[in-house]
Chain A
């Protein structure tokens, strides 16, 4: 009998530690793109708050409630991560399963910010990009999502198909930072 075997986007590519930074693949579980239906933005926020403990995130911010995250992902859309959307959310929003669409990599360590300074063209200093901040930006030459999940930890998301390029670019940047000592 045939059996479908699941494979993660970065299987065989991560984890990777170079110098003072480490990249690991995140199994984020369920990921759903949530877009409020016309006129239902407020209702959606309330439904998310009551069912998942976090509201619809403001632009460039990401909320967490236990294992659940909501990351702003662009115009009128947020990625709800780590839970099945509740019925109330379903009523107020268009939902699209994205659990397999994105490679999610956690980059952490004292060198993480320096590594990203080689790949992301925006200001990621803690003062301007605190924990809970997120941005849709370029990671190398890829369109991606960058979220600060800890003082020295980031989530990086790119299209699943680009996982290899992401790891390649991260590795080069990590090596370059490590070589500076």
Chain B
């Protein structure tokens, strides 16, 4: 029910929304919760476990009951707290966890079965038969429990992440936070003031206090106006600081567009901020705690502070005859505010016998509410006093068990808050988060004046730390009422008294946990699920542990609290992963020939971050094998062109460059002549092969190393480690030139003919033998030429500055095509190298040694190298190890499969008979059958033997002959020719 003349809402901006399909209206400035209450909608949800009818309990982000789903389709957003969701025109909200409807929920039978559903019910009941857990019990429980659901569609919203830095981060913009920001702002410090609410002001918006002689919200506006005008202050509304981490780093979630129907134009739904602050002030306020009594979860029962907030900020009376139940003076404000607004207050029940008098209301001192009645909403309460029980008709009960400082962030780095008896609450320990100071209600200072004072003082202390002069800022006048209460956690009696509304945990559950010896607060929490998940102990933490303390006969400080963990309030995974969805997951690296390759219809495959062509299809080809075979034919019979720019290229210069190479490669490079290239093998420190490639000597002190595409980064890092860490005395400089040069393989009998078409000086075969290199001029551009071959044919790699890459690729391809050749892709490249027995990372996969790949002889005996000593460990050199061999099927049509295992022909294919495995296979168009590379026990000694390949996954068995891994042109005449 709306109260005329009250509230900070925009009454001239009416907005329309639906809840469970029913149309309602509210005002701009409303939350969904305030608008529902204004429309007298009290039942808004069903509880998690028992499907109990629930209403709105609070007015903030701590709301445990009123979780709703907003929107539909890909934008469906479940478990949104109605108390946080701002109203906009066209908002569609739906209740959750009910079927078929909120009013009539079949699963509320759980509530009738409640005696069986106590703490630990699942653990005790669904133990056996074991197999039933996964197949039956868990799916069943998941269906019955749980809250809202995702749509299952792709999320249409975009999310953002961002970084911010400041001198002082002020968390919370209530009186303490505003004062801290004002002091630091006037001092000229770089300030970020973040508040989870859409409107800054904190409790000053919810109370009728005056500050500096004017209404609290007016003072707030004046301070905000001053802060807004400062260049050095950034105000972040709708931003929840959710976690505190090392080095003054905070995680914060900004809800950018949840309050807008239109989310277009690139605006994200949420932004996940990482804020690094040199100092911080926590002014997070306090959360009011409910009192546990029988059936205290009925819709219409709310916290007393929430009732004031709805009245004063949103102009809503949550009931027509309100009762107030508390154990402290603060609850009396609710009575006064309601009466001043003309709302009928049926009674004030104060559990203290000496509670101060409140005029104009029926007051019950020393009374306790011990039960509630009603259908789907509150109709009456029962009050117990020494003289007996009394029933009072009421449709709204405002309850207050006192206030809990929001110490959460101070505990995120393992700090433990300490108990303060006078306020019966935990308060932060100074220094729990380095650089962070708590001020105001979150520090146990509850009066407005104390909040203002502490805010100013903590900001001043932070400024002093930072060496910034503290300005004189007068603390405005404000109420300074002492906070008096007498602890009351749970009203004794039968029935279920709720502690944790969100997780459906009652006083009885906590007591039961203690009886079953889950006496530690952490054990009790896990056994009962109290304070778990998104709640993080906001509503019930202190009350639950007080009950536990009572049940175990210990004091509250000895019992201690559970651990508050980030995030303070829920964060969507989508926000955490902002920017990394889809192709944002990792950068894409494109070669200079990418556009031309894609234009030819080549399917691209990812190699590391690079995109490389699989094959170049031609019209009429229906199968990738046809394209691949044709491209292999180009290279074997005419000429093929392939972009090999993705291989790592490292420029190595310096007087000790050759020394470095001798040290990282197993073989000798210091003896390499200028203008020559050598193949090299590199070991890891543990003696296994790390990478291979060729290195060219361009000058006495100048080399260019190539690495495989996949290991380029790893090799660069390895070289830097050696140069900086192991031999810092060496004169050697390393620079990646992978991106500087576009490099193309031109291979085949007609390779020289193609190159001569672009070289300004034709190649003289005697000057360019196999494994030579040098500078050339390509169409007037300074280029590099390497005579190397990964195909077994006469091959060259020509490198030009990358700006010319696209152009040179087109020219080379055009010239190759004119000679009966053309471009070839990764499939053909793979076939060509398997035919030659050349290895890739399929073979040097991290578990093979130089010996295993048949290159034991390449580990030079004349020098040391990284990995040499470890490669000589007994197990790594013993005969019988699985070593590289070739395999060919006994029948021409036999299938070989990579990943298949090898057994003796007669042996049963089981683990203990395993003889090895296949690493690479292809159909060889040159030989007309499949070929494969494999690691086979004692392999090189077994050429000619027939073995059995078994692929257990695909159910294929093939008899194969063990052969030399070089299938084609064993003496290498073609590539030298």
Q: B-contacting residues of A (Cβ < 8 Å)?
A: 2-9, 33, 35, 37-39, 75-77, 94, 96-102, 117-118, 120-123, 125, 127-128, 140-142, 158-165, 168-169, 172, 175-176, 178-180
Contacts and interface: CB of A to CB of B under 8 A. Distances in A.
Interface string B770-788: 0000000011110000000
Which of B276, B589, B736, B780 is the most central at the interface, judged by chain A CB atoms within 10 Å of its CB?
B589
Given A4-B804, A101-B802, A35 B733 contact: yes
Nearest to A7: B806
A38 B653 contact: no
Contacts of B587: 140-142, 158, 162, 165
Interface residues of B, number: 63
A53 B805 CA distance: 34
A162 B720 CA distance: 23
B266 A176 contact: yes
A162 B274 contact: no
B592 A98 contact: no
B739 A102 contact: yes
Contacts of A37: 654-655, 731, 733
Contacts of A162: 587-589, 609
Given A164-B588, A179-B266, A2 B811 contact: yes
B162 A118 contact: yes
B30 interface: no
A30 to B, nearest CB: 11
Contacts of B653: 35, 94, 96
A129 B822 CA distance: 51
Contact of A101 (B158, B739, B800): B739
A161 B608 CA distance: 13
Which of B265, B583, B720, B739 is the most central at the interface, judged by chain A CB atoms within 10 Å of its CB?
B739
A135 to B, nearest CB: 13
B803 A100 contact: yes
B149 interface: no
A97 B807 CA distance: 20
A97 to B, nearest CB: 6
B655 A38 contact: yes
Nearest to A6: B803
The 5 closest A-B pairs by CB, nearest first: A175-B266, A38-B731, A179-B267, A35-B733, A94-B653
Contacts of A118: 160-163, 579
Interface string B622-662: 00000000000000000000000000000101111000000
B161 A3 contact: no
A98 B267 CA distance: 38
A117 B758 contact: no
B740 interface: yes
B782 to A, nearest CB: 9
A38 B580 contact: no
Which of A9, A96, A164 is the most central at the interface, judged by chain B CB atoms within 10 Å of its CB?
A96
Which of B276, B653, B655, B758 is the most central at the interface, judged by chain A CB atoms within 10 Å of its CB?
B653
Contact of B802 (A94, A96, A160): A160
12 contacts: A2-B779, A6-B804, A7-B804, A7-B805, A37-B655, A38-B654, A77-B733, A94-B653, A96-B733, A140-B579, A164-B590, A178-B266
B588 A99 contact: no
Contact of B160 (A96, A120, A176): A176
Contact of A100 (B163, B164, B651, B802): B802
A74 B973 CA distance: 46
Given A38-B730, A99-B801, A121-B274, A33 B266 contact: no
A94 B733 contact: yes
Nearest to A93: B733
Nearest to A114: B162
B328 interface: no
Given A37-B654, A99-B740, A179-B267, A2 B757 contact: yes
B737 interface: yes
B8 interface: no
Nearest to A175: B266
A7 B592 contact: yes
B808 interface: yes
B679 interface: no
B111 interface: no
A2 B610 CA distance: 28
A141 B268 CA distance: 19
Interface string B156-177: 0010111111000000000000
Contact of B610 (A102, A161, A165, A168): A161
A142 B580 CA distance: 12
A96 B740 CA distance: 10
B586 A141 contact: yes
A14 to B, nearest CB: 15
Interface in B266-282: 266-268, 274, 276
B721 to A, nearest CB: 12
Interface string B571-586: 0000000011001111
A159 B737 CA distance: 10
B778 A161 contact: no
A94 B724 CA distance: 16
A172 B803 CA distance: 27
B807 A4 contact: yes
Contact of B735 (A38, A77, A123): A77
Contacts of B161: 118
A164 B587 CA distance: 9
B266 A96 contact: no
Contacts of B580: 141
B63 interface: no
A20 B165 CA distance: 21
Nearest to B264: A179
A175 B739 CA distance: 29
B482 to A, nearest CB: 44
Which of B190, B655, B730, B740 is the most central at the interface, judged by chain A CB atoms within 10 Å of its CB?
B740
Nearest to A162: B587
Nearest to B739: A101
B758 A2 contact: yes
A8 B803 contact: yes
Nearest to A12: B595
A68 B190 CA distance: 34
Contact of A96 (B588, B655, B735): B735
Contacts of B590: 161, 163-164
Contacts of B363: none
Contact of B163 (A77, A96, A117): A117
A113 to B, nearest CB: 11
A70 to B, nearest CB: 16
Contacts of B780: 4
Contacts of B265: 175, 178-179
Contact of B165 (A99, A125, A142, A169): A125
B966 interface: no
A177 to B, nearest CB: 9
A12 to B, nearest CB: 9
Contacts of B758: 2
B163 A120 contact: yes
Given A38-B655, A96-B735, A98-B740, A180 B256 contact: yes
A35 B720 CA distance: 14
B667 interface: no
Given A141-B580, A141-B586, A7 B807 contact: yes
B240 interface: no
B591 interface: yes
Nearest to B804: A4
Contacts of B729: 38
Contacts of A160: 739, 802
A39 B655 CA distance: 12
Which of A38, A100, A175 is the most central at the interface, judged by chain B CB atoms within 10 Å of its CB?
A100
Given A38-B655, A128-B165, A164-B590, A76 B733 contact: yes
Contacts of A96: 651, 653, 733, 735, 737, 740
A125 B592 CA distance: 36
B801 to A, nearest CB: 4
Nearest to A174: B266
